[in-house]
Copies of this chain bind each other. A is one copy, B any other.
Amino acid sequence: MSAPIFPLDQWYVAGFAWEVQDKPIARTFLNQPVVLFRSGDSVVALEDKCAHRHLPLSCGTLEPTGIRCGYHGLLFGGTGQCLEIPGQANIPKNACVRAYTVEVVNQIVWIWMGSTPESKPTQPPPAHPWHDDPAYEFKGDVFHYKAPYQLIHDNLLDLSHLGYVHMRTIGGNAQIHMNAEMTVETGPDSVRVVRHMKDCAPPPTYLEAWPFTGNIDRWQEIEFRVTYFEIWTGGMDVGSGALTDPERPGFHMRGFHGITPETETSSFYFWSVSSNKNAERPNNREAIYKATAFTFDEDRAVIEAQHGNMLRFPDAPMVGIHVDAAPNRARRIIAKLTSASAGA
């Protein structure tokens, strides 16, 4: 096997709890085919390849004790061990498939792919409490990108693109974004970007979701956490609070962005947006979802076009500019973790 190009010993998002119901789900993560299914109270993830003749197990059927292959009927339990070979009493020990550790927290399904089958998580997957906070409501979706995962990191860590890519939704005036006050902090495995834009006109999505009447103070707090982002954005009436106060008033959007490589050149983007409720805008959940999905479609078009050119000119140099600071820090963290995986 060649050197891994993903950090392997990490919790990655595999899906949302509401997706995993009465049918197996086939997804590839980090080049490995996985079948996800519900088994009692748990979500199980197995290698999606029968030990016998390699039919994807996701073509099979769910039973109370596991998943039955749709070709010759081998039954596999949640540990990956074969429980039954129809017509044959003896079950060889190697009749098993790899099982991956899965945990569900706040309706997010996390998977530990691991650099080796023995690799186990040392801590639980992260919480995202807004999914279960009664002051908030949320909706999410799964997008697929024909582009490498790090181009999505770049995009999320540099929100100066809002003025050029997303004029119609969350962007608004480009100069506002370019002139934002910005701080970048780096932890061992995280990058945090905070941007403040004071006294500016609310962008279209904000106006639709919240009863603003004049200019607002806006914030963007972007946390990169290797396999996911939390992006807290919002705005409040000018002067109604301090942009550094965690309890500040106004309109809050808590974005969750799980970016899981499918292959070297394609990615899953699991996202949700949770926003605080407002009695004057009782239906804003659906409006915010639609605007966000539209926005991410704009990002996807740009990122896939960028990737197309990069494929054609893999060795062409890129000129660095000021907006690259935070993306470059994230790339250094990924490089460090990836070479750690390679040495594992």
Contact = CB atoms under 8 A, between A and B. Distances in A.
A327 to B, nearest CB: 9
A174 interface: yes
Contacts of A179: 87
Contacts of A294: none
B318 A160 contact: no
Contact of A73 (B49, B70, B163, B312): B163
A243 interface: no
A293 B301 CA distance: 33
A52 to B, nearest CB: 5
B323 A59 contact: no
B88 A321 contact: yes
A59 B163 contact: no
A293 to B, nearest CB: 19
A309 B54 contact: yes
A49 B68 CA distance: 48
Given A87-B178, A163-B86, A178-B86, A318 B73 contact: no
Given A85-B321, A86-B160, 14 more contacts: A48-B309, A53-B306, A54-B306, A54-B310, A54-B316, A55-B305, A59-B301, A59-B305, A69-B164, A71-B161, A72-B158, A72-B161, A87-B179, A92-B319
Interface of A: 33, 48-49, 51-56, 59, 68-74, 85-88, 92, 94-95, 154, 158, 160-161, 163-165, 174-175, 178-179, 301-302, 305-306, 308-310, 312-313, 316-323
22 contacts: A33-B312, A48-B309, A53-B154, A53-B306, A53-B318, A54-B316, A55-B306, A56-B308, A56-B309, A68-B164, A69-B164, A70-B302, A71-B306, A72-B158, A72-B321, A74-B321, A86-B175, A87-B178, A87-B322, A92-B319, A94-B317, A95-B321
